[in-house]
Structure 1
């Protein structure tokens, strides 16, 4: 990846609906150059897809939480398989330190969130969990 690729990604991160023509104009390169770069970024997996980033108004009415879990050795594959079937689990990250996994969860209400937390805590191989409920977003630079 070079500076042009990073600039394309930066512009698309701010507005994924930006057309090839607008990208070319803003970056002062030919449309064919932008099109070729986008195709390469997609085929190499740098761009995995184009999506909508919800603002605060779009996230209203949803409880969000981060859940830190410690698991038994060699239980990760089985736990990840089970977590994939839990619709409220949006993302799972491996971590360093005293926790093994970091989960991002979104639920419509406290009852569902409580059920999901109980389900995760009861999974075979989960030693312990700690949940942190998100209150408000102060900074969001995620692309």
Structure 2
């Protein structure tokens, strides 16, 4: 993902965050993105325009549930963080492409992040990038091997 040729490796953290936010919600407004990243609307618009002109963003589309490829690898990352770092760590985690959701929790761990990727290399990249976030003290990640759901009752 980050290390592939033609990847986002040359983009700065803000550009990667904007791309991750747009992947999660392609309908996010410039105002919403500006608020999320603490930037001026004009700055967000200019960055998106630059990403389009450089070919990093090649289009905007609707993807229905039936068209979405399933994530081949899913994992749950438990995180212990510094007491005052919660909001900053959550924002940074959500800017990573492989992070689908972040939950606060109680007990031994402070946060739980749901990860999804096409393969183990992508999960590994996400874990490595997450562990570099300032404010994270310790992590533990478990791969989801299978999922079982209750039978539908009529």
**Into which bin does the TM-score normalised by the smaller protein fall?**
0.5 to 0.7
Return closer, same or farther for 1:108/1:97 CA change in 2, 3 Å cut-off.
Answer: same
Q: Are 1:132 and 2:142 counterparts?
A: yes
Match of 1:67 in 2: 77
CA contact (8 A) 2:94 2:101 kept: no
Q: Deviation per CA, 1:6-64, whole angstroms, max 9, x where unpaired?
A: xxxxxxxxxxxxxxxxxxxxxxxxxxxxxxxxxxxxxxxxxxxxxx767xxx53x5200
Cα displacement (A) at 1:119: 0.7
Q: Are 1:99 and 2:116 counterparts?
A: no
How far apart are the structure 2 equivalents of 1:140 and 1:122? 38
How far apart are the structure 2 equivalents of 1:140 and 1:85? 33
User: In angstroms, what is the RMSD of aligned CA positions?
Assistant: 2.2
Match of 2:96 among 86, 94, 110: 86
Structure 1: state its 5+ residue gaps. Answer: 1-51
Cα displacement (A) at 1:140: 5.7
Cα displacement (A) at 1:87: 1.7
Larger radius of gyration: 1
How far apart are the structure 1 equivalents of 2:106 and 2:73? 26
Match of 1:122 among 125, 128, 132: 132
Cα displacement (A) at 1:138: 1.4
Structure 2: state its 5+ residue gaps. Answer: 1-63
Return closer, same or farther for 1:140/1:85 CA change in 2, 3 Å cut-off.
Answer: farther
